[in-house]
Amino acid sequence: MLQTLIEAIRLVSAPEVIIAMLLASIYGLVVGSLPGLSATMATALLVPVTFYLSPIAAIATIVAASSMAIFSGDIPGALLRIPGTPASAAYADEAYAMTRKGEAELALGAGVWFSAVGGIAGTLSLMVLAPPLAEIALSFSTFEYFWLAFLGLMCATLVARSSPVKAIAAMFLGLLVSCVGIENPGGVPRFTFGMTDLLGGIEPIPALVGVFAVAQVMRAMLTPEPPPLPKRKFGSIMAGQWRLTKLYHWQMTRGNIVGIIIGVLPGAGADMAAWVSYAMSKRFSKTPEKFGTGHVEGLVEAGASNNASIASGWVPSLLFGIPGDTIAAIAIGVLYMKGLNPGPTLFTEKASSMYAIYLMFIIANILMIPLGIIMIRMAVHVLKAPRSSVMPVIMLCCAVGSFAIGNNLFGVITVATFGVIGYIMEENGYPVAAMVLGIVMGTMVEQAFVTSLIKSDGSILPFFERPISAVLAACTIAAFAWPLFVWVRRKFMIRKGSTQTA
Amino acid sequence: MRLSDRYTGLFLVGLGSLSAYGGWLLPPVPGQPVGPNVFPLVIGTGLAICGLMIAFGIGHSFEEEEELIPLEPGQQIVVRSRFVEGIRALLPPALLLFYVLAVDRLGFIITAGLIVLATSTALGARLKLAIPLMLLAPVGIHLIFAKMLRVPLPAGLLPMPW
């Protein structure tokens, strides 16, 4: 135990890791703060760079960039009412209302402080939850893996704030994309249309870059430039945060816990954590009427929640290779690439690397406070950068990054294609995150499904016979039936309403 | 590019049925009841069912109308025709395809410079901004990816000194 901890400290304190972490933090803060450039996109564009780093440095960049980007999405939310990342969308209105009341410092300070606290709470949960869950996971068979992966996909469709039918369709689309190639139970070329480039399948990372980055550039072509930021000088940012912590300690803890639970669920991540926590905060507040008028309470709870989910989202990723959200999906790709294949044995075989991941999360969240304060002070200048100078650089990163993944120009074609697909889907209300998770998890779902079917001789019953798999199956079916239930109930209420008025 | 749910739904029905059929044609693993054919069959069927439901408008009531951010006083909406909108939206993927076709012949620096120039002017940059950006951004990216990360970017007509 002590030996592994010392080894982990040695791994993290390597100069390469420290430099990578600092640079990734700055990168994450800047990209996350630019409206329209999401935390997922920041992380996805970083992947080609991680190819050329040592395993620990590669994971360090992902950890640092994603944590920072989730926080810094609050900055344009508070100053411009344009959330920098979807996870900040839940409370962007509230933060902007505070800015208009002249409390921008308090709103942004709460963002940085409670994000850091949330991140550390999430890390602690990762440290506490992962090893015992790994013990349980050792006894999992393909039936459990199938249900777990399927449950993750279903959660991803529930998160989307759009039609559940469209979300499920998007998920199926992603699974269909993952069918391409020869990596299937029979090893035969499937849906390759005779193209050699498709034999290896469609890589998730170029697809992600296309869906999140290229589609965003496409959208920028049609939407007006965000309004310029009014010049302002900030007062002390951390003043009053300790008072808030004492005043709202219960809200903070609840936010942390909700964030951790949502993060641990496969398929649900920071966006959902922020929405749920904000809604909960309003529901249980003593002064719900103040919400929406620039009240800090919801900010505290949701800010604590979304960052907690970032760290705890690594629990299903590390244990089962099932991502909690799109950022975790990228992290899994990097883990595989670096020989740290996710699975319960990771905690015994590569214990020092696991400890190194915990340490990096804690360091990143502590670093967030000073770097975040600097970023807030510089935001006025960073947000001045016109879109016409940011987007061309994003385009180059898309082209070079997708080429670098396989030193193959086919990657660039994939990025362009998925840019178009992502753009059309988003415009028509199909959530792209569900598709992305489908692409990432497709091979695993299929493998678990087909192996289970072979084991059971084509019968469906054994899928429900083992106790854990029965529980997981029940959860999955509940997630499937929930929108149906809401729909039926709503229809019923409308009918009742119309008969009453008649 | 907003299409009616009927079109996207029917497209999904078509895609789902095609992939289910394509999966069905695949050979099973010898001696096993299931193989690479099962998964596309299940997925394709699911997709087709979802597509039908979407085409009939089931689940539409869950969709939230997009919130429009109110315009600031100085801002104005540029009204463009649908055709122009489509061309503008397709510019980024088209530029990426241009990259694929041109990079081996022209080299990275020139191709990247052209992409930067096209993107920034399309987004309304003046030449005072677009030209320095065109000269600096490709060199910067080349420095990071080719020099530091050793990605073999083609030199083409304009090799870099490093």
Residues forming a β-bridge with A181: A190
Q: A472 vs chain B: nearest CA distance in angstroms? A: 20
pLDDT at A227: 73
Q: Do A221 and B88 touch (CB under 8 A)?
A: yes
pLDDT block averages, 10 residues each, chain A of length 502:
86 91 93 82 87 89 90 85 79 86 87 91 90 86 89 77 85 93 84 87 87 90 78 76 86 91 82 86 86 86 89 87 84 86 84 89 92 88 83 90 85 94 91 87 88 85 88 87 79 72 50
Asked whether residue B79 is domain-assigned, the answer is no
Whose tokens are 């489509």? That residue is: B86
**Does B70 score more than 60 pLDDT?**
no
Nearest chain A CA: its distance from B42 CA (Å): 10
Buried b (16+ CB within 10 A) or exposed e, B56-83: eebbeebbeeeeeeeeeeeeeeeeeeee
Say how far apart CA A287 and CA B11 lie, in whole Å: 49
Last residue of a domain, one of B44, B61, B78: B61
Q: Which of B61, B66, B120, B129 to mutate to test the interface with A (most CBs of A within 10 A)?
A: B120
Distance, CA of B67 to CA of A421 (rounded, Å)? 23
Look up the domain containing B49 and give its range.
5-61
Indicate yes or no: CB of A188 within 8 angstroms of CB of B123: no
Give me the number of domains chain B comprises.
2
Answer for the pair A201, A184: CB distance below 8 angstroms, yes or no.
Answer: no
Which residues 437-476 of chain A have a CB within 8 Å of chain B? Answer: 446, 449-450, 453-454, 457-458
Mean pLDDT of B60-65: 66
Q: Which residue has the tokens 């790709």?
A: A333
Say how far apart CA B137 and CA B116 lie, in whole Å. 8
Chain A environment of B123 (Cβ under 8 Å): 220-221, 225, 386-388, 391
pLDDT (0 to 100) of residue B110: 93
pLDDT of residue A188: 84
Distance CA B88, CA B86 (A): 5
* pLDDT-derived band at B66, boundaries 50, 70, 90: low
Token reading at A295? 């009240």
The gap between the terminal CA atoms of chain B, to the nearest Å, is 44
Q: How far is the C-alpha of A306 from the C-alpha of A258, rounded, in Å? A: 9
Do residues B141 and B96 both lie within one domain? Answer: yes
Cα A243 from Cα A311, distance rounded (Å)? 26
Main-chain phi, psi angles of A181, to 5 degrees:
115, -175
Between A501 and B31, residue with greater pLDDT: B31
pLDDT band at B115 (very low <50, low <70, confident <90, very high): very high
pTM (two decimals): 0.86
Q: Where are the domains of chain A?
A: 2-501
Amino acid at B162: W
Give the gap in angstroms from C-alpha B63 to the nearest C-alpha of chain A.
Answer: 4
Residue of A nearest to B153 (CA): A400
Least CB–CB distance from B141: residue in A218, A224, A396 = A396
Angle ∠(B130,B93,A330) on CA atoms, nearest 5: 100
Residue B80, in any domain of the structure: no
Which three-class secondary structure state does DSSP give residue A267?
A: coil
What pLDDT shows up at residue A502? Answer: 47
Rounded to the nearest angstrom, the minimum Cα separation between A205 and chain B is 16
What is the structure's pLDDT at B65?
55
3-state secondary structure of A190: strand
Residue B130 and residue B123: Cα distance in Å, rounded? 10
Give the contacts of B51 (CB within 8 A, at least 6 positions apart).
A169, B8, B9, B10, B11, B12, B13, B14, B15, B16
Compare all CA atoms of chain B with the CA of A210 and give the residue at the minimum distance: B93
Work out the angle between the directed axes of helices A467-501 and A142-159 (0-180°, nearest 10).
30
Which DSSP category does B147 fall into?
A: I
Would you state the pLDDT for residue B64? 61
Q: What ipTM was estimated for this complex?
A: 0.90
> What is the rounded CA–CA span in Å between residue A23 and residue A43?
13
Of B2, B38, B150, the CB nearest to A52: B150
In A, residues 288-307, which contact B (CB 8 Å cutoff)? Answer: none
- Give the bridge partners for A284, in sequence order: none
